[in-house]
Amino acid sequence: MGTDQKYYRESHDKLVKAQRKLSRMQGSKKYEVKSNNYMKQLRKVNIIHRHIANQRLDNLHKISAEIANQYDVVCVESLNMRSMANRGFGNGKATLDNGYGMLLNMLEYKLSDRNKCLVKVDKWFPSSQICS
């Protein structure tokens, strides 16, 4: 059960190259007429974005299904991932790439379908101080 997949990082170079190519085409500026080559390149960039999103979704579905099948009660901490990514720890893309919010949503409906329990622990609850 590894959530260490970094789909955005793996496809980042390809995405950067495609977006750079797109930005140099006729139609990239605000009021320019979009050329046919611009539209073709835009579709290529959109395909790369969709591919990354589909990889992430597939991985999260597999992880959440495995957790939902294995455990009767799952406890998760409610974290604000957006603020964690913006703190300047140097891992903003990695924090947002893991899809924690989507994982919680998937766990919630998969556990409720299986008549199991999901417990959301508040981020200010001192759990590490109570039990080591």
Residues in the chain: 132
Query: Tens digits of per-residue pLDDT, 49-66?
Result: 999 889 889 989 999 999
What local confidence, expressed as pLDDT, does residue 65 receive? Answer: 94
Of the ranges 76-80, 91-95, 100-104, the best mean pLDDT one: 100-104
CA 19/CA 11 separation, integer angstroms: 12
Query: Tens digits of per-residue pLDDT, 8-46?
Result: 778 888 999 999 999 999 998 989 999 999 999 999 999
Whether pTM > 0.85 for this model: the answer is no
